Amino acid sequence: MPQFGSRRPQASASRRLADLAGRSVAISGDVPAIFDAPLAAHHKLIGRWAAKREQAGRTYTRVQARRHIELLFNAAVLEILDPIELADFRAAVLLSEENGPPAIVILCQSLGQLDLGWIETSEAPIPWRAAAYQTLEKTLRLTLPVFGYDDLFDEISIYYWDGETEDEAAREALIQYHGADAEALDELSMPSTMNAKRPEWMLADNAAPATELPAGLRKALHNLCHAHGALRTLEPEQSAWHFEWEQIQEYVPEMEECSRLPAMTLVPFDQFARELDDVGRHGMEMGFMDIAGICPLPDASRIDHWFASLHLGAQFLLAAQALIQLDPAKM
């Protein structure tokens, strides 16, 4: 659910959660000073946006004003995000730890493997399933904190084989750096054995070209790629779905202790349970990288741009959702 203040709902009140109790204020198109004065920076920012949506002038206590602003913002966010079943999202308006402008952060509250539907579980032709999977792997990370097979392989390579990607070099690394017994190496996983565990629908070489796909699947892939292209046209500073690592320290400093591994994965757990458990150990203890976007907002005029970008991202995710929910028998 959207919220103001701390990224963690259970957090106690602090500098970032200002007390708004008391004085009556009025919401109107020009947001008079009496409305601004009692509110913290993030409530003032969203309050200016909320004031433009008021049908008639009213007066509010500080508690009422804060609640009214939050309800309007929450309703607008949920209207856009509610249709998305692919993952659960939450928006929060945060104050900067370094006296910067307030920012809206989008957090992904889902964890683990993305449900791939028919792509993973159906008896549809492998080339169809591979085409759908490759498109998701290439596009989804634009809005979702998600990692794919190549990311998992890189993590395991560093974890076990000192970054090596070929069997012989990996064996040497296991002996030299991990003290492995040379006679027992056949019992250990190697790059080739890990790669061999991939189902056929995960392999890019098995993906059929668009001209060989059924019309329904071809249309779903086209819709996804079109939505992806529209989202990529956004300027980063106006996108709800973009962030720079430097912004983590400023707006969500507690994330510095978390794993850099994204919260979700496209890698099937059935085939790679051990590897996913190994790379996810830190995240299970300290939390995963669950941020989908951070957008600093220096003035209220940028909020409408933020909502427009939020809508574009939602349309992209709904296109991905439609692809995953296809019925192979009706393509």
Among 1-5, 24-28, 159-163, 227-231, the range scoring the smallest mean pLDDT is 24-28
CA-CA distances (angstroms) from residue 41 to 48, 102, 149? 11, 7, 42
Q: List alpha helices for 12-114, DSSP H.
A: 33-36, 41-51, 62-81
Q: In the numeric block, which tokens belong to residue 307?
A: 């909502």
CA distance 193 to 163: 16
Residues 90-111 pLDDT 10s: 999 888 888 889 999 999 999 9
d(CA 329, CA 311): 31
Residue 33 confidence (pLDDT) above 50:
no
Per-residue pLDDT tens over the stretch 43-63: 888 888 888 877 666 777 777
Element (H, E) at 152: helix 149-161
Region label for 169, one of left (φ > 0), alpha (ψ between -120 and 50) or beta (otherwise): alpha
The mean per-residue pLDDT over the stretch 22-41 comes to: 47
pLDDT (0 to 100) of residue 21: 33
Measured CA to CA, the distance from residue 244 to residue 247 in angstroms comes to 6
Alpha-carbon torsion, ordered 105, 109, 112, 117, to 10 deg: -100
pTM of the model: 0.84
What residues does each domain of the chain span? 10-79, 83-148+205-330
Structure tokens at 285: 């203890």
**Averaged pLDDT, 133-149:** 97
For residue range 159-171, what is the model confidence (pLDDT) as tens digits? 889 899 999 998 8
The pLDDT of residue 26 is above 70: no
